[in-house]
Structure 1
Amino acid sequence: MNKDHLEGGLRHLGGRVKTAAGAVGGKPGRQFEGAYDQAAGAAQYAYGEARDAVRDLRDGGEHLVEEGRTRFRDVSARGRDLADEAFERGQHYRDRAVHHSRSIAARADENRGTTLALVAAVAFAVGWLARPTR
């Protein structure tokens, strides 16, 4: 409730009293003043209502903006966390791949003959499978 809301209601009420007093006393000027005050009070009251409605909308908008900011911060923080986690997993998988490739290379170096026979067998199988059929 604001000043216009309250004053408009009081002016409207005062206008009704003036209108009634003018009707009882037979004074048309007083009735006219009362009707004018009633209309002006109703308009001022409606203006006060509109101000309250605008204030409520503004407050609601500010609340929505703040909630949007909060959610954006939460999402961006979660995004950073996910990016950090993905980076760490990538490093972990890279380290495992390097370790396994070095292990395989060391085994191949220890067993050169077996490795050579295995590579030759795979090459022969691929060549045999890729040959043109008649």
Structure 2
Amino acid sequence: MIDTDRITGATRELGGKIQGAVGDLTGSHRDSAEGRFREAQGAAENAYGQAKDGVRHASDRAQDYAGQAADRVRDYADRATGRAEEFADQARDVADDARGYAEDAYERGSRSLRQGARQVGHQVAEYPVASLVIAGLVGFGLGLLVNANRD
């Protein structure tokens, strides 16, 4: 949109030129000087309007650039948030898997321990004397190991 100062300035400048030319033709120094003055005023007003248009245009462009930059920042932030959420979901999945593996290992270990304890119990019940001899030998061996570390 063109500033009204440009329109009125151009009109005043044209009117001043006409008045100055008429003053020159008629020999009226007053009309000639007044026309030149109006022409200068019109040129100044026109230049002022052009400057306002330039500032308005620059302001509009700066506003557009700022809006585009804000949109880009929003897009980058949305993408980063999306990626962070994806990574968090993946971390949760990995943690869930690890918890499942740990629970499975605990269950298998508990089962193996119970089976081993039952089998040892059966062996002791079936062969009590042999079990006593084996336990004594294991105790004796441990005693030797403990005493060997003291020297």
Residue type at the aligned position of 2:4: K
| Greater Cα shift, 37-46 or 64-73 | 64-73
Amino acid across the alignment from 2:9: G
Normalised TM-score (structure 1): 0.73
- 1:70-104 superposed Cα distances (whole Å, 9 cap, x missing partner): 22222222222111111100011122223334445
SS in 1 for 2:100: helix
Show the counterpart of 1:53.
54
- Equivalent residue for 2:148? none
1:29-108 correspondence to structure 2 within 5 Å:
29-104=30-105
Aligned pair count reads 113
Amino acid in the other structure paired with 2:93: H
Higher relative contact order, chain-length normalized (CA < 8 Å, sep 6+): 1
Are 2:15 and 1:14 aligned? Answer: yes
Q: CA deviation at 1:25?
A: 0.6
Corresponding letter in the other structure for 2:38: D
RMSD (Å), alpha carbons? 2.0
**How far did residue 66 of structure 1 move?**
1.8
Task: Write the distance in 1 (CA, Å) between the matches of 2:68 and 2:20.
Answer: 51
- The CA distance in 2 between the partners of 1:54 and 1:6, in whole Å, is 17
Q: Which runs of 5+ in 1 are unaligned?
A: 114-134
Larger-gyration structure (1/2): 2
1:123 matched residue in structure 2: none
> Which string of whole-angstrom CA distances, capped at 9 and with x for unpartnered residues, describes residues 41-88 of structure 1?
000000000111111111112212222222222222222211111110
Q: Distance in 1 between matches of 2:96 and 2:60?
A: 54
The one-letter code sitting in structure 2 at the alignment partner of 1:46 is A
